[in-house]
A = this chain, B = another copy of it.
């Protein structure tokens, strides 16, 4: 009877498929079954709206991450832009390689080299100056392979999932290894996620007066590395509640999925598996970026749903922007 009433009252809402880019395979069923369960008042699995926290990794989960993290393109573009103020970079690796356009050599130093370049390009300026630099870049820079804006390489099925969860009273958060201030300027426009719901890696911040004007300077220390064990810590620091649903794609998300799904009551853990070499990229156990190995091994025993982009998604990128 209650269902009938609801159907009469909100026919358009119930009639439309909230996840049209998802095939009717197991992952879509797992999502809708979970959401119906936790939102049904009176059910033993009901979760009050305030506790409906869902966390999403960003790179490889909400947007692509190949051939390298998109933030790395930003770092390289910033190195080029800042080079006139840093004549010493012409002789200094990995900056010299970036300036020569030799990205392979620039990245040869692995994560440590990348963090060094990040510090050099993401600090020594105010948060407002940095926000402007990100905004300018994100609205103009193009992906070298697809020629799209990076924000056009977000996953349409995940946009639908974010909207579906929010329509069901969830609060959606990003919990990413990417820089918190690199994401915040555009996540609201692109994902509907406001800055205060973005958790990420962060550098030092210092409040000071510059010529009498208050500013917050970005300083070159890595204050929080929001990856692996750092993700549950970032969640606790920023949200202060354990999520009931978590979405990732790499072993960097393992602890976030573990922390989320080992809580009491209904939980949803989901891994986006990059299986679509034609429409996106195919990689997992051996990848230098977004490595997914332990997660694939342990997903079945832990009750985590693995989403095959090739088999479970009708579309990858937003139709209105792509193709």
- Assess whether A180 is in contact with B259, with CB atoms less than 8 Å apart: no
* Residue in B180, B195, B207, B208 whose beta carbon sits within 8 Å of that of A241 in the complex: B195
Q: Are B202 and A127 in contact (CB under 8 A)?
A: no
Minimum C-beta distance from A204 to chain B (A) = 9
Interface of A toward B, CB cutoff 8 Å: 50, 53, 127, 171, 180-181, 184, 188, 194-198, 202, 205-208, 213-214, 216, 229-230, 232-233, 236-241, 255, 258-259, 262
- Out of B127, B180, B238, name the residue touching A196 (CB < 8 Å): B238
Asked whether A262 lies within 8 Å of B196 as measured between CB atoms, the reply is no
Contacts of A239 in B (CB 8 A): 195-196
A55 to chain B, nearest CB (A): 11
Q: Indicate if the CB atoms of B50 and A214 lie closer than 8 Å.
A: no
Q: Known: A50-B194, A255-B207. Is A214-B232 also a contact (CB below 8 A)?
A: yes
Neighbouring B residues of A202 by C-beta, 8 Å: 237
| Contact assessment for B238 and A205 in the assembled complex, using a CB-CB cutoff below 8 Å | no
A198 and B188 CA atoms in complex are apart in Å by: 21
Could you tell me the distance in whole angstroms from the C-beta of A265 to the nearest C-beta in chain B? 14
Chain B residues whose CB sits within 8 angstroms of the CB of A207 once the complex forms: 229-230, 232-233, 255, 259
Distance in angstroms between the alpha carbons of A80 and B233 in the assembled complex: 29
Beyond the given A180-B240, A196-B196, A196-B240, please list 12 additional residue pairs across the A-B interface where CB-CB is below 8 A. A50-B194, A171-B196, A184-B240, A195-B239, A196-B239, A196-B241, A205-B237, A206-B229, A207-B230, A207-B233, A207-B255, A214-B232
Q: Is the CB of B198 within 8 A of A216?
A: no
Known: A207-B255, A207-B259, A229-B207. A216 touches B236 (CB 8 A): yes
Interfacial chain B residues near A259, Cβ < 8 Å: 207, 214, 216
A-B contact pairs, 9 of them (CB 8 A): A50-B188, A171-B196, A196-B240, A206-B233, A207-B230, A207-B255, A207-B259, A213-B262, A216-B232
